Each structure stands twice: as structure tokens, then as C-alpha cells.
Chain A
Amino acid sequence: MNEELKKTLLNPIFKGNPITVLVLGICSSLAVTVQLKGACVMALSVIIVCGLSSLVVSLLRNSIPNRVRIIVQLVVVALMVILVDQVLKAYAYAVDKQLSVYIGLIITNCIVMGRIEAFALGNKPIPSMLDGLANGAGYGLILIIVAFFRELLGSGTLFGLRVLPASYVPNNLVILPPMALIILGCIVWVQRSIQKDLQEK
């Protein structure tokens, strides 16, 4: 059991990473990785929403009518996202302002729905919650790696602080979404050369 929980927690971080292996959540990982700060807060919010939604759906899993399960899941996810947004507005207004659009985007994040469909509907609440948290963390890790390169090369800064000398001419291509896809491709490449079993023949 303990071994299994450990696997639930660690698998999504590297071996079964939702972005690089399951190829979910690509859209938002291209959109919110221009700056590290935004990527970090987005990662944190996804971890919270993913964990809580998986927990709630898992609690309801035996009562949800199969034909409308996607709608019920969506209601739960939307509820969590709005709650996170409202709480941030009341207790961390500055962070919420910085995140504005990202928060709403979590509702459409494939990872949240993907983990509910694939895991929470068939597992007990606690493992489901851990699975959600771990997948959020796996997503956040990739987001932060991509954002690191994009902010460093695109603006010459990290967390808004200047790192590269002022003589560095920022590469505007890195700011644009296509470059995020290329960086993401490089990460997938690196991962597959380490993890040979993912390579397709």
C-alpha cells in the first residue's frame, strides 16, 4: 500500500509526467510561461484545484450517473476554480491580480479532467487526492522549466530581476508561443533519451 502511494505520488513527476508523457495541458503551458512568477503561481493553483477536484469527485464516484459524469466533473472543477479565485481575491489580492486570466484557464486544463476520468473515478478519495496533487506538481515542474528558459532568453531576467547583462539583446522569438513548443519538444527529447522505454519504434 505504502509502495503504491509512493508510486502514485512520484510517477506523475517524471515517468508519467502529464505534459511530456501524457501530452495534456499543452495549451496553458504555452500561454503562461513567458514569466517565471506567473508560471509558479499557476503551478500552485493547478496543484490545489487538481487535488481538491480529484478528492471531491472520488467521494462522489459511486453516485455519479455515467451519462452525465463529464458535466458533474466540470461543475466540481469550476466550483474549485472559482473558490480558489474568490479566496485569493480576499486574502492575496496582489497575487490574484497578477494571475487574473490564468485562474479561469484552470477550468479548461485537460490535466484536471484527465486525472478525474483516469484515476479519481475508480479510486478511493485519499489516493485520488494525492494523484491530483502529484499531477499538478508534474505539470508545474515543466511549466517552471519552460518559463525559466523563456524569461531568461526572452527578457534577460528571472523573477523580474535582471540576470543577463544589459548588453544582451532579448530574443523576441522566445517570448512568442511557438518557442515554448520548441522548448517543450526539447524537454520531451531529453526525457526520452533518459527513459528508453518511452521511445517509439
Chain B
Amino acid sequence: MNTNNNVYTIVYTTVIVVIAAAILALAAMALKPRQQANIKAETISQMLTAAGFSSKEDLAKFGNEQILALYSDNIKTAFLIDKDGNKTDELETEVSSIELQDNLKLENKNIAAGNPALPVYVFEKDGAEINVIPCYGAGLWGPVWGYIAFNADCTEIVGAYFDHEGETPGLGAKIKDEAWFREQFKGKTVDFEHPENPFGIIKGGAPADDRSKVDAITGATMTCNGLDAALDTWLAAYIPFLQKKAAAAVEEDCCCCDGDECADCDHDHDHDHGHDHNHSHDHNHQHNHQEG
């Protein structure tokens, strides 16, 4: 047979491409449930790592079911908030039907459009609440994202975890691989005063006295800039919520404890309660309390 004639060539390539496409489509369909279960467990293990329940290395040894169970055991509530920080919808946390708001790409667009549905995952650890929120943005080669854990009144970061799709191994990928990078977020705080730049990843070293800045990674300037922009966008979107939590905590302290005990007492109150009776006109004086 003459394999060089035009008709044969066209038919042959068409058939090969169709077969290849069919194989890929079948493989993708057959493997999709498993892949999505993996992605869900991965997302949850990133949150658990940020919240300090376990380390990513330990969770990597767990099966998906164990990770889901660990999540379900430790989560208190998960819900969505709108751009003003008001709760709009509950997320299911039962182990068999865990709901996550993991389409961060879509929410990233919604933040820009002004109508986001942002998730807040409230874990309970040693009697205290830990609020975990995500962030998402563009790195150098693809998306970068992460989870940031706040203490009960959202005034201090207690942990963070970052991930990426395709940053350069050994350079940009260090946002995930280097533990020191995420460790330096601990004890930092979000700068409520500057909602346009609430957090900074600073090339050349962050000033030691600035509690809302951390060091960038050498050789990963573009990735760090992308992550910085992601943090700014997402934290700015969360500021109304974070401020309400902070304000509610101050109010609770003033009502129920003596000033001296405030630092020690565990705020195990329901956060809804806080939402309902705090209004924006209280903000200023509460803020002073908190800083003083």
C-alpha cells in the first residue's frame, strides 16, 4: 500500500487523533472521581496543616478517609460570607457529605466583581476557635493559593500553608517546600488600617517591627509578588469579617471578664452571636481597646 498518498495521510492522522482523544476522554472520565477525592483530601489537609492539627508530611501518610474524618472531627462550623462579612450560607461538615468552597478561581473573579461568596472554616482546637480562610492568585507560571489560620478573635495568624500549580522547583516552589516561609506567618497580623495592602511579602527582608510583613524568598521574586497580591486581594475581601470578629471578641471580654483575665479566658462563644449585636459604629472605640 502506498502510505504516502494524500488521502491515506489525512485519513490516517484523523483516525490516530480520534483514537488518542477517545482514550484520553475515557481515562479522564474513569479516573475523575478518584482524582476529585484526592483533590478534596488535599485541600482539607492543607487547611488542617494551616490550622496546626497536623503536618503536611504526616497527613500525606493518611488515606483520604482518615483526612476527611480528621476534618469532620475538628471542624466546628463552615460557612460562606458576603463582601460585608455577613454570613450567607452554611457548608456541610458531616464526614459523608463534606462541602468545600474550593472553586477559588471563580471567587477570585467574584471578589473583583464585588459579589464573592467567601468560605470561612472554623475549627476547634484545645477549646479555642481557629478560623481558616483561603487566598488565591497568579504566580509566575500558574495559580498560587493558600490557607491562613487565625486565632479566635482573628487578630493573629496562627498558621499558614501555601501551594502552587507549576512554580519552578527549587525557586518559586519554595513557597510550599520551605517550612520557614510559612512559619514566619505565625504571630503576624492583618493590617486593618490599610485595606489596600493588608499584608506584605517583602523582598530584601521585612522590617522586624512590622507585624504584617514577612520576608520574600530569594530567587522567587515573581512568585512572591504574585502571592503578595493574592494575599492583599483576599485579606482585603475578608477584612469586614475579620474586623467584626475582632470587635466582637473585645466586646465579649469587656462584658464578661475583668480586664486582666481577658488574655487568658477562652472565648468559646458562638460567633453568630457576635455578628448579631455588633454594629459598625462600635468599631472605633473597640479598635482602640484592642490596640491598647
Chain A: residues with CB nearer than 8 A to chain B? 32, 34-35, 38, 63-68, 71-72, 75-76, 78-79, 82-83, 86-87, 89-91, 93-94, 97, 100-102, 175
Q: Given that A34-B170, A83-B23 are known contacts, is A91 also in contact with B4, CB under 8 Å in the complex?
A: no
Residues of A with C-beta under 8 A to B4: 65-67
Could you say which of B9-17, B145-153, B191-199 contacts chain A?
Answer: B9-17
Q: Given that A34-B169, A35-B169, A86-B28 are known contacts, is A63 also in contact with B3, CB under 8 Å in the complex?
A: yes
Could you say which of B34-42, B70-78, B244-252, B260-268 contacts chain A?
Answer: B34-42
**B34 to A: closest C-beta gap in Å:** 4
Separation of A91 and B38 alpha carbons in the complex (Å): 9
Q: How many A-B residue pairs have CB under 8 A?
A: 70
Q: Given that A65-B3, A86-B28 are known contacts, is A93 also in contact with B9, CB under 8 Å in the complex?
A: no
Q: Which B residues from 5 to 50 make CB contacts under 8 A with A?
A: 8-9, 12-13, 16-17, 20, 23-24, 27-28, 31, 34-35, 38-39, 42
B3 and A100 contact, CB distance less than 8 A = no
Separation of A101 and B141 alpha carbons in the complex (Å): 10
Residues of A with C-beta under 8 A to B24: 79, 82-83, 86
B170 and A87 contact, CB distance less than 8 A = no
Identify whether the interface residues of A are mostly helix, strand, loop, or mixed. Answer: helix
Whether, in the assembled complex, B106 has its beta carbon less than 8 Å from a beta carbon of chain A, the answer is no
B23 and A68 contact, CB distance less than 8 A = no
A75 and B12 contact, CB distance less than 8 A = no
Listed by A's residue number, 16 A-B pairs whose Cβ atoms lie within 8 Å are: A34-B170, A35-B169, A38-B169, A63-B3, A65-B8, A65-B9, A66-B3, A67-B4, A67-B9, A72-B12, A79-B24, A86-B27, A87-B27, A89-B35, A100-B165, A100-B166
A93 and B42 contact, CB distance less than 8 A = yes
Picked from B17, B20, B31, the residue with its CB within 8 Å of the CB of A87 is B31
Number of interface residues of B (CB under 8 A): 26
In the A-B complex, the 8 residue pairs with the closest CB atoms: A93-B38, A90-B31, A90-B34, A34-B170, A65-B9, A79-B20, A65-B3, A89-B35
Residues of B with C-beta under 8 A to A86: 24, 27-28, 31, 35
B9 and A83 contact, CB distance less than 8 A = no
A72 and B34 contact, CB distance less than 8 A = no
A89 and B38 contact, CB distance less than 8 A = yes
Picked from B13, B27, B35, B60, the residue with its CB within 8 Å of the CB of A72 is B13
Separation of A62 and B141 alpha carbons in the complex (Å): 40
Can you list, as one digit per residue, whether each of B175-196 has a CB less than 8 Å from chain A (1) or not (0)? Answer: 0000000000000000000000
Q: In chain A, what residue has the closest Cβ to B141?
A: A101
A90 and B20 contact, CB distance less than 8 A = no
Can you list, as one digit per residue, whether each of B55-70 has a CB less than 8 Å from chain A (1) or not (0)? Answer: 0000010000000000
**A37 to B: closest C-beta gap in Å:** 10
A64 and B12 contact, CB distance less than 8 A = yes
A91 and B169 contact, CB distance less than 8 A = no
Separation of A35 and B168 alpha carbons in the complex (Å): 13
Residues of A with C-beta under 8 A to B8: 65
Residues of B with C-beta under 8 A to A83: 23-24, 27
Q: Given that A32-B169, A79-B24 are known contacts, is A91 also in contact with B34, CB under 8 Å in the complex?
A: yes
A71 and B166 contact, CB distance less than 8 A = no
Residues of B with C-beta under 8 A to A67: 4, 9
**A21 to B: closest C-beta gap in Å:** 27
